Structure formats: structure tokens, C-alpha cells
Amino acid sequence: MDGDGFVEYAVYGAPGELPAFPDGEALVGGVRVGVHGERVADDWGERWRQFHEPVLVGGRLFVRPPWEAARPGALDLVVDPGQAFGTGSHPTTRLSLELLLELEPAGSFADLGCGSGVLAIAAAKLGFAPVLAVDNELAALEATRENAQANGVALDGIERVDLRRERAPEGGTVAANLVGPLLLRLAELMEARPDNLIVSGLLEHEADEVAAAFAPLRERRRLTLDGWSALLLRR
């Protein structure tokens, strides 16, 4: 969790699995940190659900966990957050979805760094085709397959690609919800620029540099939320 001047990390493990640090300060990896430990409640397996709430994006797309009811009149997208790869509520995913809704849903779509498959599944439901989802994490690919099946969507490809070393698959519209340094690397390796490129996972101060890296595409839209930015780049 990011705070004002601090970052908080939580580490979980069974009794005896984690090193024992007394409450107070300790040196961990050469860094002085504040330490506090407590027993996790017995119902932890259910309590995490309260942090995953449904999100209505652009007044049209309702992204929800499976235990929430669908919203009448909205395009329904069910995402099981059990793999913790994103549910649509994080600013980077939400902003990407907002930009996606502004595009004409036509032609091919590639989701680079698909995570739980939210963007790829949304693209398929909106009418993009063919739709390809790629990620370097096998668990992310499995989560994408499961979520696509839960939504009755057949993606045209779910593939493992290391975007740090391999060229990304092409598409008429491409979404890359990654991080700033990886987006810069993506720009270096990308041979052909797509017609529409949505980039997110950016901190606000990184947006200008990333936008410039994908020239000759030009920034057409920028959205910000809670310190994060998403850009729509087009010819």
C-alpha cells in the first residue's frame, strides 16, 4: 500500500514459515523498516472479497466479481479475482477500459500483458476480432482462459510472450497495461505501430516520455486517476 512518504508491504505465511521479527524496527535486506505482525483471522479466505467491488465503466461496461449480480442495461463482464491479476477496479485497468469504449469496435485487438484478461474479454464483447491476449506469466494466461470461458468468450489466442525480449504481436488496436520502463522497451521492439494504441500502468510523470517513445503515433487522449495515467495514441 502506498502512503504519504511510505510504502507498506504485507507478507503472509503459515506459522513458522516467516522469520520472527519483534514489533518495532528491524534491518531487512539492509533497509531499516517498521515491523508489525499479527495473526490473520480464520475467515481470511472469505474476507478478501470485500475489497473487490463491481465497477461501472463509461456508463456502459459493468465489471464485476462472480458473486455480484449483473447490472441491467450494461454490458456484463465477470472477472474472478482469485488469481489477483486485476478486476477492473484498479485505476490503470479502469482508465484503459474507458479509452477502449471510446474506439470503434472493429478490426483486430491485442492485449499485451493481459493479466486476468479484462481488456481482451471486453474487446471481444465489444466486437473487436480477432482478439489475442499475451502475458509472460503462466498463471495470468490460465486466469485469462478461465475468465474468457466464464464470459462465454472465445479469444483467438492466449499466448506466452516475454515483452522484454520478444516483439509484441500486432493488431489494429493494441492495449498495453504494463509499467513505464516496460512500455519504453515495448516501443523499442515494436516494428509496426498500430492504428490505435492504449498504454497504461503509467505514473503521471511518466506519461510524456512514454507518449514520445511511440512516435509517429500522437497522443489523442489522456486520462488520469489517483496518480495514474492512460493514453490513447493514434496516427
167 with 186: CB under 8 angstroms?
no
Residues 186-198: what's their mean pLDDT?
96
Mean pLDDT of all residues in 110-134: 97
The model's pLDDT over 201-213, given as tens digits with 9 standing for 90+, comes to 999 999 999 999 9
In words, the CATH class of domain 89-234 is alpha beta
Q: Answer yes or no: is pLDDT of 90 > 70.
A: yes
pLDDT at 50 over 60: no
Amino acid identity of 191? E
pLDDT of 39? 67
pLDDT at 25: 78
pLDDT at res. 53: 80
- What average pLDDT does this structure show over 88-115? 95
Closest CA to 163 of 126, 144, 188: 188
Number of Cβ within 10 Å of residue 209's Cβ equals 13
**pLDDT higher than threshold 90 for residue 21:** no
| Structure confidence at residue 165 (pLDDT) | 95
* 181-189 mean pLDDT: 97
Higher pLDDT: 44 or 192? It is 192
The answer, yes or no, to whether residue 16 has pLDDT greater than 90, is no
Phi (first) and psi of residue 194, to 5 degrees: -75, 170
**What number is the average pLDDT over the span 46-63?**
79
pLDDT per residue as tens digits for the range 58-68 = 999 999 999 99
Quote the crossing angle between the two packed helices 118-126 and 138-150, to the nearest 10°: 30
* Residue boundaries of the structural domains of the chain: 2-35, 89-234
pTM of the entire structure? 0.81
Alpha carbons within 13 A on the beta-carbon side of 29: 2
